[in-house]
Amino acid sequence: MATNRTFTMIKPDAVRNGHIGAILEQINAAGFRIVAMKYTRLSQEKAGAFYAVHRGRPFYDELVDFMSSGPIVAAILEKENAVADFRTLIGATNPEEAAEGTIRAKYATSIGENAVHGSDSDENADIEGSFHFAGTEIFA
Ligand code: CMP
């Protein structure tokens, strides 16, 4: 069942490069409502747990190091068809393949340092949102 919610992180590269404001503006302009948001830094342990599904992949250690290398913005977003529409808004994982105007085409520098995360299913949106936010931090 569609939850109309997705989960995102503005990753350490985009934060370091000063793109928080522009990315949030593009997200709002596309019709997403922010229902939860925090500025935080993941420990190696938390980054490893968040991306546990990728454990064993050749890029896993690099991904965990990168995602814990500096602050991130984590948020839960609400919109009809949120998961699919947000993935369209951010573009392909590899910025070289991301459509023009998408967040990754504009702000990502490589497949590893790709500016933003977006959930790939309603189920994962729910799991990932709960990983970062308590119920009292979500404002429907
Ligand atoms: P994300 O959408 O956050 O989900 C998993 C992340 O793993 C992905 O974005 C990329 O940042 C990273 N990733 C996926 N494939 C590769 C790869 N081939 N090399 C490095 N990082 C990757």
Q: Where are the domains of the chain?
A: 5-137
Distance of CA 40 to the CA centre of its chain: 13
Q: How far is the CA of 136 from the centre of ligand 1 (A)?
A: 30
Asked whether the beta carbons of 136 and 15 are under 8 A apart, the reply is no
CB of 63 within 6 A of ligand 1: the answer is yes
pLDDT by 10s per residue, the chain, length 140: 567 999 999 999 999 999 999 999 999 999 999 999 999 999 999 999 999 999 999 999 999 999 999 999 999 999 999 999 999 999 999 999 999 999 999 999 999 999 999 999 999 999 999 999 999 999 98
Q: Which CATH number fits domain 5-137: 3.40.718.10, 2.60.40.1120, 3.40.640.10, 3.30.70.141?
A: 3.30.70.141
Q: Annotation-wise, does 38 bind a ligand?
A: no
CA neighbours within 13 Å on the CB side: how many for 26? 20
Does this model's pTM top 0.85? My answer is yes
